[in-house]
Each structure stands twice: as C-alpha cells, then as structure tokens.
C-alpha cells in the first residue's frame, strides 16, 4: 500500500517539535511538502508559501495537517476538503464551534476524512484511566493546569486574540482528557475568567463543573506559573483516588503508579492513517464546547497587563 502523501501547513513550534518527527516515524505517511509564508521548513522537502499554491502547482498530496492558529483554519480546511484532501486539525480544531460543525458536515458529504486531533487523549495514562473509571462511582474531580506562558508560548500574539483561547489553549488539553475519561457527560456551572487589561483572552480561569451524576469538578487554569509546572487531574471514587499527572503521561491508582513513554503524536498519526484507510472521520467537539460555555457563562475580571 502506497504511503499517504501529507503536507504540513504552518511550520511553527508544534509542527517542528511534534508533527514532523511523528510523520517521519510512521511508514503510513510520506512528507510531500510544507507550507508557510514565514518558516522555510526542513531542508530537502518541497516548500510553498500558501495552501493555494500547493493545491494549484505544488506536489500532489492526499492529506494536510493544519498547524496554523485556529482563527484561519476553517478557510484552509474548506479549501482542502473541496479538493478531496484529508484534513488533520491540530487542537483546538477551530475558532468557533459552528465552523468545526460545518467542516464535519462538509467532510461527510464529500467522503473525506476529517480528524480533530486531541493529542492529550493519547498520553500514556489516559486509556487505562478511562477503563478503570468506567467501573467506579465518581465523587469529586480536581484539575490543576498551571504553566508559564513565556516558556511554552513565547511571542505568540495570536493566542491572546479572540479565537486564540488564551489560557484555554493548554486548558483544553485537560478538558479533552476529562471528557474522555469520565463515564458521564460533563457540563459547566460557573466560571471566572481573568483577562489582562491589555489582552483579549484570559491568562487564568477558575471553572466549576459537574457530571450528570452530580460529581463536582473544579478546574484551576493559570499561565502565570513559574518553577515546576502542573498538569494534574485527580479523581476521587468509591474505590480510591486516581491521579493523572504530567499531562496524562503518569497514572497513579490505589494499586500503584505507571510511568510510560510519551507517544501522543505518534498515536495521533496512527489514528489518522486508520481513519483514512477506513474512510471515516473523528470530530469530537466536547472539549471546545466546554470552553465556549466558559466564555458564554463566565464572569470576567480585569487583571494586571501582561507583556512577553
């Protein structure tokens, strides 16, 4: 079977750190091109300034991985789907729920694969955590997702603009895990969004959620963390406490702790290849819907200006 010819659109930190190595390590794919108006891409790979140029005159591709800011992703995905090109959407899958639903519907009509890729769901501890919780009664959940924005998102002005999500850009990773491992549906009750006086998106957020069984869920998001970073989910159950730490890579159960290799992006590309070969799509909007609910229902408070 011939490899899937894929182009990476948007050559920034996440593309270089994760997408390009994952593609290189998966024989189901061959990197046909990269696309960016700014970064020239890796040496030896055809490079174009725009997706229009790739489609019209570049090397033939079967799929694209969209690693651009979410605000421009709808137009790019639509362009690819019209040409019958399979689309991988880096998280968050779009700037609004409506455009992601529109893309999902379009992909279904033209028979092309669309994959909303929640990479944190492929962290090593997530699948066993989901299996363990499926047989437990959830009593309480605590999420602490605190990191230093200057370390992880240096100079990324788009992330502070409408549609860039602010602290929910990393926070949505925690929500993608939460909605995947919880046996019952989760919804928002209230939120407080802390927005720097010189920015349009929050630098911190405090969320109160619950599941349909009544279990209380508290989420603490903050981009002002210095020193050790915190990416932890603690679930108290009738059979003891489960903890996912290091963004889901480390799972602690009453029976012990498991540390496993980080295979998030290799897992994503294995999933994408299987979806393409099977003629299917995977577009879960639950994590983005919770973020939208936070912006819809959250109380906004102004905090000190933020400067990179």
- Let me know: does 92 contact 14? Beta carbons within 8 Å: no
* Residues in Cβ contact with 91 at an 8 Å cutoff, skipping those fewer than 6 apart: 116, 117, 118, 119, 172, 173, 176, 287
Q: Among all chains, which residue has been given the structure tokens 């911190």? A: 204
Q: Report which secondary-structure segment, H or E, holds 210.
A: strand 204-211
**CB atoms < 10 A from the CB of 303, how many?**
15
- Let me know: does 169 contact 110? Beta carbons within 8 Å: no
List beta partners, residue 33.
7
Q: Among candidates 228, 230, 227, 229, which has minimal Cα distance to 219?
A: 230
Q: Among candidates 258, 247, 252, 257, which has minimal Cα distance to 237?
A: 252
**Distance (Å, rounded) from C-alpha 7 to C-alpha 36?**
11
Q: Which of 82, 91, 189, 243 is catalytic?
A: 91
As given in the structure block, the two tokens for residue 187 are 């919804």
Say whether 140 is catalytic: no
List beta partners, residue 205.
193, 221
**Distance (Å, rounded) from C-alpha 97 to C-alpha 55?**
27
Q: Among candidates 185, 188, 181, 180, which has minimal Cα distance to 218?
A: 188
* Three-state DSSP class for residue 86: strand
Q: Among all residues, which ones are annotated catalytic?
A: 91
């Amino acid at each position: 079977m011939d490899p899937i010819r894929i182009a990476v659109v948007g050559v920034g930190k996440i593309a270089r750190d994760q997408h390009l190595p994952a593609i290189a390590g998966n024989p189901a794919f061959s990197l046909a091109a990269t696309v960016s108006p700014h970064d020239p891409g890796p040496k030896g790979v055809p490079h174009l300034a725009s997706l229009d140029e790739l489609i019209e005159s570049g090397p033939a591709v079967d799929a694209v991985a969209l690693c651009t800011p979410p605000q421009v992703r709808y137009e790019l995905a639509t362009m690819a789907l019209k040409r019958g090109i399979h689309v991988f959407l880096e998280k968050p899958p779009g700037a609004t729920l409506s455009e992601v639903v529109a893309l999902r519907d379009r992909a279904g009509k033209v028979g092309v694969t669309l994959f909303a890729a929640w990479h944190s769901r492929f962290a090593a501890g997530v699948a066993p955590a989901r299996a363990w919780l499926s047989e437990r009664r959830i009593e309480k959940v605590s999420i602490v997702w605190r990191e230093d924005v200057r370390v992880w998102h240096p100079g990324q002005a788009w992330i502070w603009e409408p549609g860039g999500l602010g602290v929910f850009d990393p926070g949505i990773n925690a929500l993608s895990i939460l909605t995947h491992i919880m046996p019952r549906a989760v919804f928002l009750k209230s939120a407080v969004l802390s927005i720097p006086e010189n920015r349009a998106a929050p630098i911190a957020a405090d969320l109160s959620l619950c599941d349909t069984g009544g279990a209380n869920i508290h989420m603490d998001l903050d981009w002002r963390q210095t020193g050790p970073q915190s990416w932890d989910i603690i679930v108290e159950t009738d059979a003891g406490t489960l903890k996912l730490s290091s963004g889901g890579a480390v799972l602690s159960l009453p029976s012990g702790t498991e540390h496993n290799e980080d295979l998030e992006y290799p897992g994503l590309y294995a999933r994408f290849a299987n979806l393409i070969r099977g003629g299917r799509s995977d577009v879960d909007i639950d994590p983005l819907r919770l973020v939208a609910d936070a912006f819809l229902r959250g109380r906004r408070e102004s905090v000190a200006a933020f400067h990179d």
